Amino acid sequence: MGKTLFDKIWERHIVKQIDNGPAVFYIDRHFIHEVTSPQAFNGLDKRGVKVFRPQQTIATADHNVPTLNQHLPIKDLLSRQQVDALIQNCNNHGIELYGLGHPNQGIVHVIGPELGITQPGMTIVCGDSHTSTHGAFGNIAFGIGTSEVEMVLATQCLLQSKPKLMRITIDGELQKGVLSKDIVLYILSKISSSGATGHAIEFEGSAIRNLSMEARMTICNMSIEMGGRCGLIAPDETTFEYLKDKPFAPKNDEWGKALTEWEKLFSDEDAVFDKEILINAAEIPPMITYGTNPGMGIGVNENIPTAESVSETDKKGLTASLEYMGLDAGMPIKGKKIDYVFIGSCTNSRIEDLRLVADFVKGKQKAKEVEVWIVPGSKQVEKQAINEGLDVIFQASGFRLRQPGCSACLGMNEDKIPAGKYCISTSNRNFEGRQGAGARTLLASPLTAAAAAISGEVMDVRDLL
Amino acid sequence: MHLITQKINIIHSRFVPLNIENVDTDQIIPARFLKATTREGFGKNLFRDWRFENDDEMKPKNGFVLNDNNYGGEILVAAKNFGCGSSREHAAWALQDFGFKAVVSSFFADIFKNNALNNGVLPVTVSESFLRSIFALNENESLLIDLEKQQISIPSKGLSENFDINAYKKNCLLNGYDDIDYLISIKEDIIQYEQSIV
Ligand code: SF4
């Protein structure tokens, strides 16, 4: 029987199999940020242990940073202390830190790929659930808790049990105005936010092959929202082309050698998955969420479900969600007035996202009552956007390009959506209070968000293209 | 090996019923309370936005089960897909700090499950029907969890069910062992592995 892509990478990273227990699993790359690492370093210090392989860990500050005036000290004392603790810990243990002010700083899942640190065939972890993003390069990448961060710092290993395997095949052509964010929101609406729990998900099919690396990252990013342990896409020419000449990509002879290895990374014809799902790309509309988990999504032209239209167990959840969201069952979502637009987060804050938005809003004006935040995923993205003059386009439309960070994705730093307000957001989570206590989030693609920025309401971006 | 967690074996206690599906870790502990650099003290913000009216007043919200004096105990019982979303281990720390020793659900999100196990909070996965039987109990009844036997029961009803747990993890919890100590103890194997792959 053939092997899956996941099997091939998994097997290569087993240090040892514990009888009747998990495997000792070797980690190639480890990313850390300020929020989930301090307790891990405390643990090491308590044990009197140094970081085992400091060159394999890279740090950045992203969750707690302001996105305006980054040259000034962070106002919030606790946030500042956390960022300072990261600096201190990285110094003590010899870890490379791309902190505030560094040209490589940015959201951890944006900088890994853009610097070429993320590569095919690797095992990658971070104390952050959206580590699944990196799987777009054909590697095993997953989020871990702080105790596990400590394990990786101390030994470069984790104890892991092999997950089940699921394949989601998306074939066919996408409609105009439909982006990879719509693909993943559509899958979520079909299989729910627990539909892939316990599984590693491989995404395949012609629609995936036709996507850019950045668009692929958006899909893998949200595989955790289905409960997936990780999401991965076999590397191909698009992957190699993207990685070539990136600062940390293999150079000269090493590049050729790496390529030979990477080309072996795909699921064999006769590989067997525990679960298979097939999706026709042409059926996918621009999507939007109406509820409080990412599985609660519909096409922008559809009506919000009614209690009668959902299963018995989903009824209670639906009622509670709609109450929180202040939305009515059975009503159209199109035309819903919006207060905030957030374009950013590790799901959609890369240069292609900003280009799409700029291209769309060029020559148009922002709706008066809407507040729009455009937050690049990294310093590099910010620089590129400015080089291409995107900031000028945004400005002319009445928006402002802010500075890189997680921003309004999680209601932790200064950028929060006020209670009761509606925010159309390109991020990945619409949980209660995710963007600030009482905030109401509608997840959508950068194009659908840009359309709302212009019109002040939810609309079908296809009508404007 | 040193002990990082309390040993767990028998938990016999009343329980707190949280009959809500898809409880995500942002609800268990909202992001704005993740700014501490130590593991202690998260219990006071457990389910913060469901428990209290707003941050200024901290007025308990009526109708939320943790504010209901009729309920209490060391076991939290929740509907399916508990702990989804963010990987924040602060969720497990908050539950533990609040006094929970076990969480019962019909389905746990992966990362949360690991985080709970690493902090001596036992995740017990039961069938949907067993979960319904628990939610049907009144507030004075108790649950009995026996880790050694991998069994959870409702003594008053004579009902019980077995639950799965990985043998290695079970041994760690019964003895209070810690994964990091184990990994450090096999460092030679790790170094050998590193040399074998280059
Ligand atoms: S952008 Fe949002 S989801 Fe991504 S790492 Fe930051 S907080 Fe997490």
Query: For position A340, which CATH number holds?
Result: 3.30.499.10
* Mean pLDDT, rounded, for A100-116: 98
* Residue A13 domain-assigned (yes or no): yes
In the reported structure, the alpha carbon of residue A131 is separated from the centroid of ligand 1 by a whole-number distance in angstroms of 10
Please give the distance, rounded to the nearest whole angstrom, from the Cα atom of residue A325 to the centre of ligand 1: 22
Q: Percent of chain A, pLDDT > 90?
A: 97
Give the model's pLDDT for residue B69. Answer: 93
Residue A175 shares a structural domain with residue A156: no
H, E, C per residue of B21-55: CCCEHHHHCCHHHCCCCCCCCHHHHCCHHHHECCC
Mean pLDDT of all residues in A224-245: 97
Per the domain annotation, does A355 fall within a domain? yes
Judge if A200 and A247 occupy the same domain: yes
Mean pLDDT of chain B: 94
Confidence of residue A425 (pLDDT cuts 50, 70, 90): very high
Q: How far apart are CA A387 and CA B168, in angstroms?
A: 54
Rounded Cα distance between A398 and A366, Å, is 6
Among A36, A109, A125, A350, residue to substitute to test ligand 1 (most atoms within 8 Å of Cβ): A109
The whole-number pLDDT of residue A314 equals 78
> pLDDT tens for residues B140-196?
999 999 999 999 999 999 999 999 999 999 999 999 888 999 999 999 999 999 999
For residue B77, the cross-strand partners are: B17, B104
Position B5 confidence tier, pLDDT thresholds 50, 70, 90: low
Q: Residues of B with CB below 8 A from A148's CB?
A: 114, 118
Counted domains in chain A: 3
Three-state SS for A391?
A: helix
Q: Is B34 on the interface with A (CB under 8 A)?
A: yes
CATH classification at residue A213: 3.40.1060.10
Question: Which residue type occupies A216?
Answer: R
For helices A77-93 and A38-47, give the axis angle rounded to 10 degrees. 40
> Does residue A61 surpass a pLDDT of 70?
yes
Would you state the pLDDT for residue A310? 84
Q: In terms of domains, do A132 and A195 share one?
A: no
DSSP line for A84-153: HHHHHHHHHHT-EEE-TT-TT-B-HHHHHHHTT-S-TT-EEEESSGGGGGGGGGSSEEEE--HHHHHHHH
* Residues A218, A129 within the same domain: no
Mean pLDDT of B29-53: 95
Q: What percentage of chain B exceeds 90 in pLDDT?
A: 90
In this prediction, residues A315-323 reach a mean pLDDT of: 92
Question: Are A74 and A90 in a shared domain?
Answer: yes
What is the pLDDT of chain A when averaged over all its residues? Answer: 97
Task: Provide the pLDDT confidence category of residue A311 given band limits of 50, 70 and 90.
Answer: confident
Confirm or reject contact between A64 and chain B (CB < 8 A).
Answer: yes
ipTM: 0.94
Q: Which pLDDT band holds residue A389 (cuts at 50, 70, 90)?
A: very high
List own/partner pairs for B140-143 with CB under 8 A and 24 or more apart.
B140/B14, B141/B14, B142/B12, B142/B13, B142/B14, B142/B15, B142/B73, B143/B11, B143/B12, B143/B13, B143/B14, B143/B15, B143/B75, B143/B77, B143/B104
A236/A249 same-domain check: yes
**What is residue A251's predicted lDDT score, i.e. its pLDDT?**
96
Distant-in-sequence, close-in-space partners of B141: CB < 8 Å, separation ≥ 6: B14, B154, B156
Comparing alpha-carbon positions, the chain B residue that sits nearest to A314 is: B21
Q: Average pLDDT of B87-107? A: 97
- Cβ contacts of B120 within 8 Å, gap of 6 or more: B4, B5, B6, B8, B96, B101, B173, B176
Label residue B3 by pLDDT band (50, 70, 90). Answer: very low
pLDDT at A35 over 60: yes
| Band (A158; pLDDT cuts 50, 70, 90) | very high
DSSP letter at A69? -
pLDDT for A335:
98
Arithmetic mean of pLDDT, A183-208: 97
The answer to whether B86 contacts chain A (CB < 8 Å) is yes
Q: Give the domain extent around A195.
A: 164-283
pLDDT band with cut points at 50, 70 and 90 for residue B2: very low
In this prediction, residue B1 carries a pLDDT of: 37
Is residue A219 classed as helix, strand or coil in its secondary structure?
helix
Asked if A194 lies within 8 A of B81 by C-beta distance, the reply is: yes
The per-residue DSSP string of chain B comes to ----S----EEEEEEEEE--SS-BHHHHS-GGG---SSSSSGGGGTTHHHHBS-TTT-PBPTT-GGG-TT--SSEEEE-SSBTBS---THHHHHHHHHT--EEEES-B-HHHHHHHHTTT-EEEE--HHHHHHHHTS-TT-EEEEETTTTEEEEGGGTEEEE----HHHHHHHHHT--HHHHHHHTHHHHHHHHHHH-
Is A295 part of any domain? no
- B4 has pLDDT over 60: no
In-domain check, residue A176: yes
For residues A261 and A316, state if they share a domain: no
Residues A75 and A109 in one domain: yes
Same domain, A185 and A81: no
